[in-house]
């Protein structure tokens, strides 16, 4: 529940802002000149804010879309985020290292965003780089806008990455062949230890099954995988479990990646996160902190997963954005 909403003066009368306020019904509305006064303020307590984040509604001047280092399926790939931060609290979340604030920041000028998107003829677009794509969409209704846009722009592929089971924006819509719903998955033991406040594996699988039956293209993301002492059995069991309900012939892609962090965020994440076991065993290599057994976990899980899905659709991720 969001109790406090900050709104930039310039946008307070926008109809989209009013619609969001009707959904949230906050206890406090505070006006500000620029979101940076709240979001980028020094000496914020991230952990305390994370318990009850406020929402900041703002207008982003430009530069919504950024190119990523690696291509996807031969296409140039890009990421964008209309929302910064997320209601879930994964111990490994890189946003802890990226932002001073745990408050939600939502940019409401979606017309400007879509104008910028028009400048790209084709590409693979990640919609949720700085948040979870579905978790708060009940307030913002941005996913339906994406569906409306991408159904008329088939040379562009969009990926919504999520752990959320709130599939309302998708389940009643006609599936798009160029929209991929990518579920982040892990064994339930790992979810309980490290993916706090997220839906259980069973709930995620139930949502995946519904979306797949409805005809949506789905991807499975095991990234980051965590080197729990029992990891080999845990990942084998989770693959077995998933393919009891999910049709392996109808998977768009499956991603494997081990826990890793860019050096620039890692020290800040350590300061904010007391989960020492998770992070203590990583070592630095070319400005990325990695697990010493990264190659092993990727090789073994690749073998395990390729018993269920074609090798051609399995992607190994080692990069950091
Ligand atoms: S779901 Fe993603 S964005 Fe949200 S806390 Fe977990 S890692 Fe971070």
Range of the domain at 15: 4-317
Between the alpha carbon of residue 25 and those of residues 1, 2, 168, 196, 207, the distances in Å are: 9, 8, 20, 26, 28
**pTM across the whole model:** 0.95
223 close to ligand 1 (CB < 6 Angstrom): no
Considering the chain, what is the average pLDDT of its residues? 94
93 close to ligand 1 (CB < 6 Angstrom): yes
Angle between helices 143-150 and 110-118 (to 10 degrees): 30
For ligand 1, atom 6, which residue shows the shortest CA distance?
Answer: 90
pLDDT category, 274, cuts 50, 70, 90?
low
Is the pLDDT assigned to residue 33 strictly greater than 70? yes
Is the pLDDT assigned to residue 39 strictly greater than 90? yes
150-192 pLDDT, tens digit each: 999 999 999 999 999 999 999 999 999 999 999 999 999 999 9
131 close to ligand 1 (CB < 6 Angstrom): yes
How many domains is the chain partitioned into structurally? 1
Is the pLDDT assigned to residue 276 strictly greater than 90? no
Between the alpha carbon of residue 13 and those of residues 9, 18, 21, 29, 111, the distances in Å are: 8, 7, 11, 13, 16
Is the pLDDT assigned to residue 273 strictly greater than 80? no
User: What is the distance in A from the centroid of ligand 1 to the CA of 303?
Assistant: 27
218 with 278: CB under 8 angstroms?
no
pLDDT category, 24, cuts 50, 70, 90?
very high
Which positions ≥6 away from 171 have C-beta within 8 Å?
210, 211, 214
Lowest mean pLDDT among 13-27, 140-154, 254-268: 254-268
The arithmetic mean of pLDDT across residues 193-219, rounded, is 97
User: What is the distance in A from the centroid of ligand 1 to the CA of 271?
Assistant: 18
pLDDT, residue 279, reads 66
136 close to ligand 1 (CB < 6 Angstrom): no
- Measured from the Cα of 85, ligand 1's closest atom is 3
CATH number at residue 260: 3.80.30.30
């Amino acid at each position: 529940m969001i109790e406090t909403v900050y709104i930039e003066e310039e946008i307070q009368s926008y109809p989209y802002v009013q619609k969001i306020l009707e959904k949230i019904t906050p206890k406090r509305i505070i006006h500000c000149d620029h979101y940076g006064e709240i979001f980028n303020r020094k000496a914020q307590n991230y952990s305390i804010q994370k318990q009850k984040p406020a929402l900041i509604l703002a207008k982003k001047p430009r530069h919504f879309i950024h190119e990523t280092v690696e291509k996807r399926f031969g296409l140039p790939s890009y990421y964008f985020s209309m929302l910064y931060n997320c209601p879930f609290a994964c111990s490994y979340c890189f946003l802890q290292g990226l932002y001073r604030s745990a408050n939600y920041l939502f940019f409401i000028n979606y017309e400007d965003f879509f104008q910028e998107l028009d400048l790209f003829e084709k590409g693979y677009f990640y919609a949720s780089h700085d948040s979870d794509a579905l978790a708060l969409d009940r307030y913002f209704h941005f996913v339906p806008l994406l569906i409306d846009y991408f159904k008329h722009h088939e040379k562009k592929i969009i990926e919504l990455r999520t752990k959320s089971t709130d599939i309302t924006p998708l389940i009643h819509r006609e599936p798009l062949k160029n929209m991929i719903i990518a579920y982040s998955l892990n064994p339930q033991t790992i979810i309980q230890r490290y993916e706090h406040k997220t839906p259980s594996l069973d709930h995620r699988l139930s949502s995946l099954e519904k979306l797949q039956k409805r005809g949506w293209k789905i991807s499975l993301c095991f990234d980051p995988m965590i080197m729990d002492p029992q990891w080999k059995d845990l990942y084998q069991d989770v693959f077995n479990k998933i393919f009891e309900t999910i049709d392996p012939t109808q998977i768009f892609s499956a991603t494997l990646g081990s826990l890793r962090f860019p050096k620039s965020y890692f020290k800040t994440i350590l300061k904010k996160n007391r989960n020492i076991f998770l992070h203590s065993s990583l070592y630095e290599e070319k400005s990325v902190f990695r697990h010493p057994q990264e190659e092993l976990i990727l090789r073994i899980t690749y073998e395990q997963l390729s018993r269920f899905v074609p090798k051609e659709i399995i992607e190994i991720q080692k990069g950091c954005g």
